[in-house]
Amino acid sequence: MPAELKKLKENTGKRSKKVKAIYPDSIHMAIADGLSYNDFNIKIATLDEPEHGLTVDLLDETDVLIWWGHCAHAEVKDEIVKRVHDRVMEGIGMIVLHSGYYSKIFKTLMGTSCSLKYRVNDDKQLIWNIEPSHQITQGIGDYIKLPKEEMYGERFDIPTPDKTLFIGWFEGGKVFRSGCCFQRGHGRSHHKVNPEYFDIPDWRRKMSLL
C-alpha cells in the first residue's frame, strides 16, 4: 500500500509577488512534485483550513508529515500542535523544513529554544554531505552548491541529533548543521534547512527517502 504523506504549509507565500515569481505553483506544490517520484498518496494541508487541515482522521491515515512554515508560526493553534505531537509519539514520521525550525511543533519536539544565527543576504552555500553512505544521502555527491542563500548559522539550539547528515558552509564563514535526525517516542523527526526546493530536482527526490 502506498505510504500516506501529508504536507502542512502555512500558505502565506501566496501573498508575496517575489515568492510567486520563484514558485509559480506555490512552494508546497514544488515539494509535492519532488515526492511524486515515489508511489506516495500525497495530501496538502494549509494554515487557513479548519484545524489547519490536520484533522484527527487525516493524521490517523498519515505515515509521514512534512512541515513547512515561515511567517505564521504563532497562528498555529496549540491544540493542533498537541495533536501532531501525540501522533509523532505514537509513530508518525515528521520532516521539518526551512524556517520550520521555529515552529511550535519543532520546539515542542526538541524541548529547546531552537534559536540560531540568521542573516538575510546572498551568500554562496555549500551543503556538505558528511554521511555519504546513508540511504538519504547516497548518490548526491560530496556537496550541494547554492549560489545565493540566506545564512543560517550556529549555534543552533537543539539537542544533540541521533544523526547529522549535512554541514552547511557559507562564504561569510558561518557553518550550520542540517539533515538532523531524531527519535521521538515511536516516531522519527528530521530537520532540514534548504529552501531551494524548486531549483534542485535531485534534492527534492532525495527528500522522499526521509
For residue 196, the domain's CATH number is 3.40.50.880
Which triple of cell numbers denotes residue 18? 517575489
- Indicate the pLDDT class of residue 35, thresholds 50, 70 and 90: confident
20 vs 104, higher pLDDT: 104
Query: In the chain, how many domains are there?
Result: 1
93 vs 34, higher pLDDT: 93
Determine the average pLDDT of the residues in 88-109: 90
Report the greatest alpha carbon distance in the chain: 47
The number of beta carbons lying within 10 Å of the beta carbon of residue 21 is: 8
Strand ranges in 32-162 using DSSP code E only, listed in sequence order: 41-46, 64-68, 93-97, 117-129, 143-153
pLDDT at 162: 92
Determine the Cα–Cα distance for residues 55 and 45; give it in Å rounded to an integer: 10
pLDDT at 13: 47
What is the extent of the structural domain holding 120? Answer: 4-207
